Amino acid sequence: MPVSAETEFDIDATPDAVMEVLRDVEALPDWSDPHQNVEVLERYDDGAPKRIRAKVSATGISDEMIIDYTWTDTTCSWELVEADKLSMQKGKYTVTATDGGAHVAFELAIDLKIKVPGFIVKGQQKKAVETARQGLTAEVLRRVG
């Protein structure tokens, strides 16, 4: 059964600064603890990542995934192509301007191929939301100085 998580938060930086961090998918391991390694396999003509291979580990479960990205000026969305332990993953960051910086909406839905106790799944949902909010915010603020 698919599970989903959402959060919204503000960052004291421009939407362009936030999107720049999101486009730098190879740096995901710097600010997203579950990401062990990210390799860009294919890029769009403008240089944005189109397909990646990611190695992730969370709560003792490791997986290698192929993920396709879609980009606009204000969104970063992705969808799982293949993985060993996940059967589905869709996610999206939507970044909009505010008076003081950027507002970020994060959505994530996953479904597992393997049986995992519910409390572990719920813990991973919470960690994904915390990483989206805290990890992304810290990385954007670190880069803008």
Domain at 35, CATH number? 3.30.530.20
Nearest 5 degrees, angle CA 59-CA 4-CA 80?
Answer: 75
Q: Give CA–CA dist 14/118, Å, rounded.
A: 38
pLDDT tens, per residue, the chain with 145 residues: 678 889 999 999 999 999 999 999 999 999 998 899 999 999 999 999 999 999 998 767 789 999 999 999 999 999 999 999 888 999 999 999 999 899 999 999 888 787 766 666 666 667 777 878 899 999 999 999 8
**In terms of residue numbers, what domain contains 73?**
3-144
Residues 6+ apart with CB under 8 A from 131: 31, 32, 33, 34
Look up the pTM and report it.
0.91
User: What is the domain count for the chain?
Assistant: 1
